[in-house]
Chains A and B, each alone.
Chain A
Amino acid sequence: MNPILRPVAAEFSKIFSTRIWWILALVLFGYIALIAGGLAAFLGGVENGSISPDAVNSGGGADLSTLGDLPPLIYSFAASVGYVFPVLLGALATTGEFRHQTLTPTFLATPKRGRVLSAKIISMFTVGAGLGLVGLAASAGLGALVLNGFGIDPMLADGETWALIGRTVLAMALWAVIGVGLGVLVPSQVASIVIVLAFTQFVEPLLRFASAVTQITADIGKFLPGAASDALVGASFFTLASPGGAVLESWQGGLVLLAYGLLATAGGYFTSWKRDVT
């Protein structure tokens, strides 16, 4: 095997030799299955009339008639809700090396440190895509079954549905790269995990809602990573729930996500990766 691919093989081996990858994959599946399956059942019920629309609208929620086609919305949950999982796995891949002091054997085997970090990006991109498939198995697999059960066309014959599935896989892969970058930027594992959870579950959703208030902030807000990810995927409950919010083009969203991942990784390379290992 050539010297560039060797560290990639090593990184894959590290990922799959501890338990965290399948624990995260399992929780991701369960979580998305619950949300996507539950919403598919609920919205499917509303749409086919078995749940009264009044019961929903009286709650002051979004007008369901603006939700458009249900299937893409349900399927996009894999990324719009599940993206925290590849970020966590990516961050664990880098912070774990600091925490368990495995940087020593790692850099002894591959003294060119940039190669190790590149290998982490490549392997995590792939594993992130794999997590995307797991999320989609829940959101699109289970979601389609539930929609079908309510007599709604799951749109699986539609080429656009499969394009959305592909973009979801790409988004999840890019989120794993962002995780790698965050992990080198903030090598403390605890701090990294707290940042991931606080930012994805609390700070960013608030910022996105708040930024939608004025045009200027909305133009900035669309560059938030979650917004860029939703733009890449092309459908999201979040985007629909805040109508009027500015959105990037799909390809722009992808580039913005990639930029976050690469900038964080490059920053971390200089602030922690190249440092003395003592």
Chain B
Amino acid sequence: MPTGAVIEFRNITKRFGQTTAVTDLSFTVEPGRVTGFLGPNGAGKTTTLRMLLGLVAPTSGTATFGGLRYRDLSQPLGTVGAALEAASFHSGRTAARHLAAYTLAAGLPRTRVAEVLRTVGLADHADQRVGGYSLGMRQRLSLAYSLLGDPGVLVLDEPINGLDPEGIKWIRGFLSSMAAEGRTVLVSSHLLSEVQQSVDDVIIIAKGELVHSGPLSSLDTNVAPQVIVDSPNRDALVTALTDAGLAFTSGRTGLIVAVPDPGQVGHIAFAAGVELSVLHRQKAGLEDSFLALVDGGDSL
């Protein structure tokens, strides 16, 4: 079983003329976990991954796999599998012959072509020209390419874009199983919700800069929870909360009180003799935390 290597970005920066796409980015990606690389469109994800793979030359800084730059790997496709763009095919070539050219380039057995096409569910379309492929099929073919060398590291740029619901479900399970085998899995997305169910760690960038990194659960604590409360007698509730000195705002489903504990709010209402129709804790979603983080990046 191939084992994953640690991916390390160290102070990597990329300028395209006047535009700075990525600024002094440093982070590591561990084997055995699925790491989500997140940020809104234009945040610099693709540029960062292309620098990692030696396709774009960094203005400064380094990106390595177990200490080696991509171009110094002795078996690039056998070490790292990457899927970057759904459009990287000659439309007049069949999927099988597309992949076959790269097995030759990498010195891999030709039998891998049929194997990876079966893995991604394209076995029935192996001899079809890619020009006739749907976006979802192209995504699968990109993924098939990344698997040719049975690599210990997977680097996937927006692999969920264009997949049908069944494909999304499949790839989530696939990513988790790859990580469970000890491989390093780095997967980018502009939507947290797309990968939320399968990632263990998150790296979040905005405007080319790192804004957050850590386990997925670390996003939970970024926005304080609140209590939603309502009463048939809203005026009495407002009075009770005001008397108790709690800050609140008026929301669509009730009053939003800036305390974490519903019990505290319930006690105040009980003591004031106010009947409650709603009382629960509102936990800010991960998506809210994510948006708060990248919006913060926007205002920089």
A-to-B contact residues, CB < 8 Å: 1, 3, 6-7, 9-10, 13-14, 17-20, 96, 100-112, 276-278
Contact = CB atoms under 8 A, between A and B. Distances in A.
Interface in B49-86: 50, 53-57, 70-71, 73, 76-77, 82, 84-85
A108 B53 contact: yes
A101 B76 CA distance: 19
Contact of A108 (B47, B77, B100): B77
A109 B105 contact: yes
B101 A101 contact: no
Contacts of A10: 101-102, 104-105
Contacts of A7: 105
A92 B291 CA distance: 45
Contact of A9 (B47, B84, B104): B104
Contacts of B93: 14, 17-18
A6 B104 contact: yes
A7 B104 CA distance: 7
Interface in B80-130: 82, 84-85, 87-94, 97-98, 100-102, 104-107
B55 A109 contact: no
A168 B198 CA distance: 61
B107 A18 contact: no
A4 B56 CA distance: 23
Interface string B31-42: 000000000000
Nearest to A20: B92
Contact of B50 (A18, A101, A111, A277): A277
A165 B15 CA distance: 54
A18 B90 contact: yes
A111 B102 CA distance: 12
B155 to A, nearest CB: 10
B179 to A, nearest CB: 21
A192 B77 CA distance: 32
A18 B100 CA distance: 13
A33 B53 CA distance: 49
A277 B55 CA distance: 5
Contacts of B94: 17
Which residue, of A7, A96, A278, has the highest number of chain B Cβ atoms within 10 A? A278
Contacts of A276: 50, 55-57
B107 A1 contact: yes
A13 B94 CA distance: 12
Nearest to A101: B88
B9 interface: no
A18 to B, nearest CB: 4
B107 A107 contact: no
17 contacts: A1-B107, A9-B104, A10-B101, A14-B90, A18-B90, A100-B91, A101-B87, A102-B89, A104-B55, A105-B88, A106-B102, A106-B105, A108-B82, A111-B76, A278-B47, A278-B50, A278-B56
A108 B97 contact: no
B88 A111 contact: no
Contacts of A13: 97, 100-101, 104
A110 B149 CA distance: 13
Nearest to B97: A17
Given A108-B82, A278-B50, A6 B55 contact: no
B52 to A, nearest CB: 11
A277 B49 CA distance: 12
Given A14-B90, A17-B101, 9 more contacts: A6-B104, A6-B107, A10-B102, A10-B104, A18-B93, A20-B92, A109-B106, A111-B76, A277-B55
A111 B46 CA distance: 18
A117 B17 CA distance: 27
B290 interface: no
A276 B89 CA distance: 18
Contacts of B89: 100, 102
A100 B90 contact: yes
Contacts of A1: 107
A100 B88 contact: yes
Given A6-B106, A101-B85, A111 B92 contact: no
Interface in B145-176: 145
Contacts of A278: 46-47, 50, 55-56
Contacts of B145: 105
Nearest to A276: B56
Given A13-B100, A17-B101, A104-B85, A96 B55 contact: no
A109 B90 CA distance: 16
A101 B142 CA distance: 12
A276 B54 CA distance: 9
A17 B94 CA distance: 8
